[in-house]
């Protein structure tokens, strides 16, 4: 059995994957969604089926830092979309980013999370308008206390990332997807991820890049590239 576990990034939800799930399931894959419960629903961390003989983790942005260590460790293949190891780089750029993350955390603490999220989603959508993204339930329905707490906790986790997440599989085939117009994960941060993977002995790494893609790379064109990569090892 071929199984996918998909994990969204910070401020995302399992609804991110609706189209991808439909297409992959129609191609014979068993699909399971992780969800951090930012909308106030209970968080869900799926596990691999005992019948799965091919385990693929698809993660967007912070997603592979948000799944359990056991889930990550058992993956045979990783599809990392606009992902990173350490989010905050060294030097001046890192100091600016830390200041920005601290400001986002304060907005959540002070109850001004919606305005902050609207600005964040505008960065995610870049180079397109924020209206190009599907409507966020967090914006439409507002933040619950539980959802706000999870957003804040994961924002602190984001700032504290130091490299590849614990539990990473020792051997895995990897596809890295990165957009040249990403306003959330910089080219420097992406290159740091590539270097970290090489330093830890990962040799089977494929790259899928486009200068016009932003951070929101969970799109039909990217799905086509991901499916072609999956088919290479069918």
Question: Within the chain, where are the H helices?
Answer: 18-26, 63-66, 69-73, 91-109, 113-125, 137-141, 145-160, 187-199, 220-231
Its pTM stands at: 0.97
Give the whole-angstrom CA distance, residue 193 versus residue 48: 25
Q: Which residues, given as ranges, of the chain have pLDDT below 50?
A: none
Q: How many residues does the chain have?
A: 234
pLDDT, tens only, 175-218: 999 999 999 998 889 999 999 999 999 989 999 999 999 999 99
């Amino acid at each position: 059995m071929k199984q996918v576990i998909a994990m969204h990034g910070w401020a995302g939800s399992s609804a991110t994957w609706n189209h991808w799930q439909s297409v992959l399931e129609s191609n014979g894959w068993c699909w399971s969604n992780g969800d951090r419960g930012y909308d106030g629903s209970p968080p869900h961390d799926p596990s691999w089926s005992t019948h799965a003989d091919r385990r693929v983790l698809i993660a967007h942005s912070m997603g592979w830092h948000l799944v359990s260590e056991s889930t990550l460790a058992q993956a045979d293949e990783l599809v990392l979309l606009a992902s990173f190891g350490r989010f905050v780089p060294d030097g001046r750029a890192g100091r600016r980013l830390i200041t920005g993350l601290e400001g986002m955390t304060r907005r959540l603490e002070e109850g001004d999370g919606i305005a902050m999220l609207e600005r964040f989603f505008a960065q995610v959508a870049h180079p397109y308008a924020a209206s190009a993204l599907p409507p966020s339930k967090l914006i439409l329905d507002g933040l619950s206390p539980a959802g706000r707490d999870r957003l804040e906790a994961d924002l602190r986790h984001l700032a504290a990332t130091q490299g590849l997440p614990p539990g990473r599989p020792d051997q895995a085939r990897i596809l890295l997807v990165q957009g040249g117009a990403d306003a959330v994960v910089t080219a420097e941060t992406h290159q740091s991820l590539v270097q970290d993977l090489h330093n830890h002995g990962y040799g089977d790494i494929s790259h899928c890049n486009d200068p016009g893609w932003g951070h929101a790379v969970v799109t039909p064109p990217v799905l086509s590239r991901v499916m072609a990569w999956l088919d290479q090892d069918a």
